[in-house]
Amino acid sequence: MSNSITSTQRLLDFLKSKYPSAVPASTSETDLPSLSHHIFPETSYSDNEKIETTQWLTTSSRLAAPDEDEAKHAERLGSLNIHLSTRTTLLGSKPSIADIALYYRLAPAVKSWSAEERTGEHGYHHIVRFIDFVQNAPLFGLSVREEDKVSIDLNNIKFVHKPIDAKEEKERKKKEKAVAAATGDGQKELPIEKGREEIGAKQSKKGKAQDVVQQVEEKVKGAVTGDTTQQVKKEKKEKQPKPQKQPAKEAPLSPCLIDLRVGHILKAVNHPNADSLYVSTIACGDPPGTDNTSEYEGQVVRTVCSGLNGLIPIEEMQGRKVIAVCNLKPVTMRGIKSAAMVLAASPRLKEGVEDNHKGPVELVTPPADAKAGERVIFEGWAGEPEGVLNPKKKVWETLQPGFTTTEGLEVGFDSSVIPQLQEGENAGKTTGKLVTSNGGKCTIKSLTNAVVR
């Protein structure tokens, strides 16, 4: 921790020396994310860009950490290199405090890289280009002395990569998204035969035109000869009514309809516009191209807003496993779209007592060996989840009151409190524990008979 503090303090000293009018002497670590506005006053930032800036500040500090695992460090560098392959700055084209922080923390390492590490076939070409841009561009105005700059030898490039075409990259991502959206039963195919269909349609139109010409010729011939028998009339085929599509069979009400998965929080920050909210970056096992996802540190992630600020310390949110509800319809919370919900337990209120939202609150914890994206279900309620829950059917609102905790601090589903589940084979079911595929149970720290939501 002391190394991190020292690194941050050195960065602050660097910023104060380069931008004395924008970064006053009283500036502290907590002020870092807001410095973009002061250093680049003519640039505006969306809420998502503010969140992304904070995330990149954290990533840059991790890249500079001397005790980081070597494999993890290489993975971060690889992800950063890919990110910069189609961007001028970390945000795309806008400058931000994150660019300066990354330059300051990474430039010493880049200085010591070999030519192979810089521009070899598996080198970090785009990071080197980024460092060179930040230290020289008037946009940043760093005024780095020549002897302090990272020296870039343009005549010593070991391997020339094929430039990434932005249009090709966009098309590639579209195709990935289409493949991800396709059903897995092999019945749905991409329209690769479209060309043949168009040719067939043109030939069909040509045939119809020839039929019309032939009919006109027959009529003219009949009028001249008086032989009306020569007039051939083709009877039009009666259009058969299209069969009515049968409505899809509605799945019976069950907690299995809710897509509960293990999530890995890679980063959590304060919401820029709401004191009660955190904004978390969570890996939920989604394939590339899934709607409402993005990439962070080489992983497909969801942005999730949760009302846990002030109830759970932000330190406890970092790097931990949680249970996420992944098929609720995304909602925008104070300017940031939230694409999942984190499950947490709180005391069950007595009748007539008003909820003051002061806690205590405990996050639901999956088994230690559970992987991000692994599905969890309630015992006795196996089945496939809905793609996205229809808000009009209120599946979550109907079933959530059954989410509870046991005397053994395990999360379970008590169907006895759901009137709609008191008929047929569901009647009399006991509380089913929330488990992974190998039977590992999801737990909380101390709250029994609690509300889980």
- How much is the pLDDT for 120? 82
- How much is the pLDDT for 204? 53
How far, in Å, CA of 378 to CA of 431, rounded? 9
Residue 436 pLDDT > 50: yes
Determine which of 68-72, 94-98, 236-240 has the lowest per-residue pLDDT on average: 236-240
* Mean pLDDT calculated for residue range 134-151: 90
**Residue 315: is it exposed, middle or buried by C-beta count within 10 angstroms (0-12/13-18/19+)?**
exposed
Mean per-residue pLDDT of the chain = 83
- How much is the pLDDT for 181? 67
Highest-scoring range by mean pLDDT, 22-31, 156-165, 230-239: 22-31
Could you read off the pLDDT of 393-407 as tens digits, one per residue? 999 999 999 999 999
- How much is the pLDDT for 154? 66
* Mean pLDDT calculated for residue range 50-69: 87
* Mean pLDDT calculated for residue range 32-49: 92
Residue with the larger pLDDT of the pair 331 and 192? 331
- How much is the pLDDT for 183? 47
Neighbour count for residue 109 (Cβ, 10 Å): 16
* Mean pLDDT calculated for residue range 81-105: 92
- Please give the structure tokens belonging to residue 161: 């990569």
Query: What would you measure as the largest C-alpha separation in the chain, in angstroms?
Result: 109
The pTM of the full predicted model, rounded to 2 decimals, is 0.60
- How much is the pLDDT for 432? 93
Could you read off the pLDDT of 204-233 as tens digits, one per residue? 555 555 565 566 555 545 544 555 444 444
Dihedral Cα 317, 318, 323, 325, nearest 10 deg: 80
Could you read off the pLDDT of 62-74 as tens digits, one per residue? 888 878 788 888 8
How far, in Å, CA of 198 to CA of 193, rounded? 9
How far, in Å, CA of 423 to CA of 292, rounded? 37
pLDDT > 70: percent of the chain: 80
How far, in Å, CA of 318 to CA of 312, rounded? 11
Residue 195 pLDDT > 80: no
* Mean pLDDT calculated for residue range 257-283: 95
How would residue 185 be classed by pLDDT, with cut points 50, 70 and 90?
very low
> How many degrees, rounded to 5, is the angle at CA 190 between CA 187 and CA 191?
115
- How much is the pLDDT for 197? 45
- Please give the structure tokens belonging to residue 41: 């006053």
Identify which of 30, 48, 31 has the alpha carbon closest to the alpha carbon of residue 39. 31
- How much is the pLDDT for 194? 41
User: What residue spans of 113-249 are helical by DSSP H?
Assistant: 115-119, 125-136, 166-181, 194-225
- How much is the pLDDT for 182? 63
Determine which of 54-68, 226-240, 253-267 has the lowest per-residue pLDDT on average: 226-240
How would residue 251 be classed by pLDDT, with cut points 50, 70 and 90?
confident
How would residue 76 be classed by pLDDT, with cut points 50, 70 and 90?
confident
CB of 365 within 8 A of CB of 414? no
- How much is the pLDDT for 199? 43
Q: Give the residues across from 280 on adjacent strands.
A: 268, 304
- How much is the pLDDT for 7? 79
Residue with the larger pLDDT of the pair 260 and 116? 260
* Mean pLDDT calculated for residue range 136-163: 78
How far, in Å, CA of 216 to CA of 222, rounded? 10
Could you read off the pLDDT of 157-179 as tens digits, one per residue? 656 555 556 667 677 777 777 76
Q: Give the residues across from 411 on adjacent strands.
A: 405
Residue 406 DSSP code: -
Residue 358 pLDDT > 90: no
Helix axes 47-63, 2-18, angle to 10 degrees: 120
Determine which of 48-52, 154-158, 194-198 has the lowest per-residue pLDDT on average: 194-198
Residue with the larger pLDDT of the pair 209 and 181? 181
* Mean pLDDT calculated for residue range 297-319: 94
- Calculate Rg over the CA atoms of the chain: 31
Residue 193 pLDDT > 50: no
How far, in Å, CA of 277 to CA of 271, rounded? 5
Residue with the larger pLDDT of the pair 72 and 425? 72
- How much is the pLDDT for 246? 67
Highest-scoring range by mean pLDDT, 6-15, 90-99, 142-151, 197-206: 90-99
- How much is the pLDDT for 298? 85
